[in-house]
Amino acid sequence: MARSFDDTTRRKIAELCAAFTRAPSAEATSGLKRAAVAFALTEAETGGGTAFLLTRRAATLRSHAAQWALPGGRCDDGETQAQAALRELHEELGVALRETDVLGLLDDYPTRSGYLITPVVVWVGAVADIVPNPAEVASVHRVALDDIERTDVFSFAMIPESTRRVIRFHHAGQHIHAPTAALIYQFAEVLAGRDTRVAELEQPVFAWR
């Protein structure tokens, strides 16, 4: 279903996020560090549709260098997940938003590297200047929502190291893995009006550290 970039789409996605029932968080007993990422919705590069911002992390970063990621990072002390996602979006891409721009939160995703990631859906709008911070971001890309709602863009496989399925998101000739692929998959399911859980979807071994 084509999603034009306008107030109608903003309201519809906000309604879908409000209707989504988040799974109970395992944060209290997991011992994982809290983190947040942003599904930053803006205008697609072509066709006037809606897209979200996806980054390639800088190769010089100490962890997960050069990997695909949504803008985000660890929550500071006293921050909510929404506040952390907005701060990281500003630090990484120069996009300044307010909490009133938050449309909703998806499920927490526990990573093998010790984080509990909360995806935060935010509406950027068309006029925001996107200025990547070269210390953190190698490149930024707009992924049309139409592209993640196709049935052929996600695949699942098994690996010897785990009994859980590995998820892959196929984009621009690349295989994007969990956690990012798992979060994108759940967002696509939310857009379709489904409460689909993704916490058990596996990451590739190279992302376990």
Is residue 50 one of the residues assigned to a domain?
yes
Is residue 144 one of the residues assigned to a domain?
yes
pTM of structure: 0.94
* Residue-wise pLDDT tens digits, 52-83: 999 998 767 666 556 899 999 999 999 999 99
* Per-residue model confidence (pLDDT) at position 29: 52
* Per-residue model confidence (pLDDT) at position 2: 65
Report the length, in residues, of the chain.
Answer: 209
Q: 7-19 and 180-191 helices cross at what angle (nearest 10)?
A: 100
Is residue 150 one of the residues assigned to a domain?
yes
Q: How far apart are the first and last CA of the chain?
A: 38
Split into its structural domains, the chain has a count of 1
* Per-residue model confidence (pLDDT) at position 59: 63
Is residue 163 one of the residues assigned to a domain?
yes
Domain of residue 104 covers 7-207
* Residue-wise pLDDT tens digits, 11-63: 999 999 999 999 987 655 578 999 999 999 999 988 789 999 999 987 676 66
* Residue-wise pLDDT tens digits, 158-194: 999 999 999 999 998 989 999 999 999 999 999 999 9
CATH code of the domain in which 37 resides: 3.90.79.10
CB neighbour burial string for 129-147, b if at least 16 within 10 angstroms, e if fewer:
ebebeeebbeebebbbbeb
* Residue-wise pLDDT tens digits, 135-165: 999 999 999 999 999 989 999 999 999 999 9
Is residue 2 one of the residues assigned to a domain?
no
